[in-house]
Structure 1
Amino acid sequence: IDRNQLQPWLKYIKLLFTALFKLPYAECHTVWRGIPKDVCEQYREGDEVTWWSITSTTSSFDVLQSPMYLGREKVQTIFAIETKYGKSIREHSHLQNDDEILLSPGINLKVIGSLKHADGIHIIHLRDMNSFSDSLMNVNPPVDEYRNPRLEEIIRSIEERGTLILDPMNLSDQDMEIVAKLGIIEKKCKIISLCNNAIRSVGVTILSQAFGSRTYFSALYLDENRILDAGVQCIATRLPSEELCFRKLYLNSVGMSDVGCEYLAEMLRFNHSTYHLHLSDNDVSDRGLQLLLETTQSYESNIASITLDGNRRVTDVSINAICTAISSSHGFHNLNVRNCSISDAGKEQLKVAAQQGFYFTIGV
């Protein structure tokens, strides 16, 4: 672009960017954008790209599936973008039911990974390099950067390879630097409970950086933290093989959806060391449940139980998939779907199937 041609527009551009600067930051750290074409070839894992336009995104994955999103055009690629610097325009948008978020031009993004959706849609995970700098991701920060004396004292008081319970303590993403350094790396804790804190996907990313290879955890509890699908992905992508395992993974009420189930299902296909998966009170639908159930039918799978209580989008549509899993899964013996949207007739059908199964118990 010839800079001289911009001269007549400079005051308008300045006005626009002044208004953009004054907008409040969005509360969510993962935003979504869909486009009507396949661009996977242009976004390879590890690549860094710069978006020069003002980009409209949404905080809700479901919005992308609405026919109103792209009109008659079908979404073919979905970007999941981790950033702390999205600007919320909900109060100014004509889309009343959508938390619309703008990304400023010149945003630098790194391609973290991608996967192909069951219906052919590609999901590409991007990370804002300005938001997630190396200093933030460093699990060994300088001592004078951030301190939480009470947290440090608690962690140092426990035995090596012991149980670390830190719930609820109103811990933030910054506190995860201390948990990672002292609790995971130094103390090598095998059970870590971080329930009901203020941890987001950034904090989970920091923790995951400390998950060294050949590390065994009896259990990781992250209940009641809004880590969303981006946080689930951070965990799932750190478990590509049995060298790193969590026997029990608790992700109750973390704001995950079917996208998170996709990440977990992909993890379970390659890592057979997770036995118990707890995903209650999230936004999982029939599709997410079916993705997880498919993994139980592999002879290599060791998944023994899945808990999905309180996922209201699980309905009678899942009954056939559940019955198939009960009859064909060799090691899977427990499923909980209480307080979902399964009818009384559906519950009876599942109870009968469980009775006919081999030592199978089902909670409905």
Structure 2
Amino acid sequence: MASAHADNPILNGRFSDVGTEPCTTPIPIAGYEKMPLVSLEEAVEPLLSLVPGVQRTVWIVKQRCENPLDELSPDESASIMLYTTEGTCGDNSFYSILNSTLRTEDRTKLRPWFLYLKLVLTALSKLPSVASNTTVCRGVKLDMSDQYPKGKTFVWWGLSSYLERQSLKYQDMTIVAEQAVINKQCTILYLPNNEIASKGVSILAAALHDNTTLKGLDIFSNDVGDEGVDSLAQVLAENNSTLKSLKLGWNRITDNGAYYLAEMLKKNRTLVELSLPQNRIGDEGVKLLADALIKHNTTLKKLSLDLNDLVTDASVNYFIDIMNQNQSLTVLDVGDCKLLSKASKKILYAVAESKENFKLDLETRYIQSTRESR
């Protein structure tokens, strides 16, 4: 799905550039598949004169992909991030130059890209596929009906990505909710680093009534606040939604928000992952969540409270009770809760080690947001 702000050339070009797609079918790309798999640094060597600053960008993405998920190698994961990384170069950005080259009739211009294409397409082939009947929407503020007559199939050569950092606001959530949730277009809705706030979340929450398709909702860094959490919690408490993963990191959620989530967990039977890193949840919030998990919830498998700096040693017994008494949870992440003492961490590790197939994470990590520090 393309952003509603298709007139922003830097942030939205990758979504709304359907207007530059050729309406004729270019010659298929051939030759890259015979190339060897090499490191990302080697893959971009032929591109040094074509893409400004690509070496520096490669260094940055490699640093961020040292321990990738989805069974990808660091180079494979970094090759995907290299394409999706936003820059300020407009038409000289990596993704823009690649897409322009993919669309050209002169296939010889693609030869310098073969090593990179081999690497990134190998990486993409290892990721889970979406259902064959999934619809992907792209938008452009142009009338292109003459170029795209009904009933005719077109091949798009440019790559695309998702709705991160598109300056989406609550006014945009009506169309997002309609297309992604109500019209059952998405199984995972990924909206981090936008500005949808509590009003936008209330629109999304309303769309979750009787939802049967959306499985994951990621609204990291959206200024959701406790009010937005309340909207989501009320809907999820009804058990009419199939949502399994809810990610609410960096959203100024306090113990009041934790209360709403705890009340939801007492009734919800579909959610298996609740991610709340880098919020303002303290010991009282941990107590409320622990009570819900110990006495009521039997389905949540992963709880993330890392980087909540207000959590202190007073929460240690709550964490111990969760590990000892809740039967469904297999992952508890409280990494870098800075007020937890070393002694408390040793106690928690000892309890976790006594449980079979349980992961306790107390390690330090850093979560980045495009926003100023909150």
Shorter chain as normaliser: what TM range? Answer: 0.5 to 0.7
Q: What is the correspondence of 1:264-275 to structure 2 with a 5 Å cutoff? A: 264-275=261-272
How many residues are paired up? 219
* Correspondence 1:353 to 2:351: yes
TM-score normalized by the length of structure 1: 0.55
Question: In structure 1, what is the Cα distance between the partners aligned to 2:135 and 2:216?
Answer: 11
Whole-Å separation in 1 of the counterparts to 2:284 and 2:357 = 26
The TM-score normalised by the length of structure 2 is 0.54
Q: Match of 2:289? A: 292
**Aligned-pair distance for 1:300?**
5.0
Higher strand share: 1
Residues 242-266 of structure 1, C-alpha deviations (whole Å, 9 max, x = no match): 3213211000001110111111111
Over 3 Å counting, the alpha-carbon distance change for 1:336 and 1:300 in structure 2 is: closer
Give the counterpart of 1:220 among 211, 217, 221.
Answer: 217
Change in CA separation of 1:350 and 1:363 when aligned onto 2, cut-off 3 Å: same
Distance 2:238 2:262 in 1: 13
For the structure 1 residues 228 and 160, does the alpha-carbon distance in structure 2 shift closer, same or farther, using more than 3 Å as the test? farther
Letter in 1 for 2:202: T
How far did 1:277 drift? 0.6
Distance (Å, rounded) in 2 between the aligned partners of 1:329 and 1:293: 9
Aligned counterparts of 1:259 and 1:176: Cα–Cα separation in 2:
24
Runs of 4+ with deviation above 4 angstroms: 146-151, 157-164
Indicate conservation of the 8 Å contact 2:305/2:334, yes or no. yes
- Which consecutive unaligned segments of at least 5 residues does structure 1 have? 1-145
Instruction: Provide Cα deviations, 1:93-118, integer angstroms capped at 9, x if missing partner.
Output: xxxxxxxxxxxxxxxxxxxxxxxxxx
Task: Please report how far the alpha carbon of residue 284 of structure 1 lies from its aligned counterpart in structure 2 after TM superposition.
Answer: 0.2
Counterpart code for 1:297:
I
Distance 1:212 1:299, change over 3 A: closer
Distance 1:216 1:294 in 2: 30
* Structure 1 residues 278 and 173: CA distance shift in structure 2, 3 A: same
Secondary structure in structure 2 of the residue aligned to 1:249:
strand
How far apart are residue 293 of structure 1 and its match? 1.7
Deviates more, 1:219-228 or 1:163-172: 163-172
Residues of 2 paired with 1:305 and 1:228: CA distance?
21
- 2:331 maps to 334
Partner of 1:171: 168
Matched, 1:203 2:200: yes
Could you list the per-position Cα deviations for residues 308-348 of structure 1 after superposition, in whole angstroms to 9, with x for gaps in the alignment? 11101111101111111111111112111111110001100
Cα-to-partner distance string for 1:159-184 (whole Å, 9 max, x where unaligned) = 86568931111111111111012222
One-letter identity of the residue aligned with 2:201: V
Counterpart residue type for residue 230 of structure 2: Q
C-alpha distance in structure 1 between counterparts of 2:349 and 2:184, whole Å: 44
Structure 1 residues 185, 160: CA separation in 2 closer, same or farther (over 3 Å shift)? farther
CA apart distance, 1:289: 1.2
Give SS of 2:176's match. Answer: helix
TM-superposed deviation, 1:148: 4.2
How many angstroms apart in 1 are the aligned matches of 2:332 and 2:254?
A: 18
**In the superposition, relative to structure 1, how do residues 160 and 180 fare at CA in structure 2: closer, same or farther (>3 Å)?**
farther
CA-based RMSD of the aligned residues comes to: 2.8
CA change 1:154–1:206 in 2 (3 A) is: farther
Q: Where does structure 2 lack aligned partners over 5 or more consecutive residues?
A: 19-129, 137-160, 363-374
Change over 3 Å in CA distance of 1:359–1:210 after alignment to 2: same
How far does the alpha carbon of each residue in 1:4-55 deviate from its partner, in whole angstroms, 9 at most, with x for none? xxxxxxxxxxxxxxxxxxxxxxxxxxxxxxxxxxxxxxxxxxxxxxxxxxxx
354-363 vs 157-166, greater mean Cα deviation: 157-166
| 1:92-171 mapped onto 2 (5 Å cutoff) | 148-149=5-6, 161=134, 165-171=162-168
Distance in 1, matches of 2:207 and 2:320, equals 39
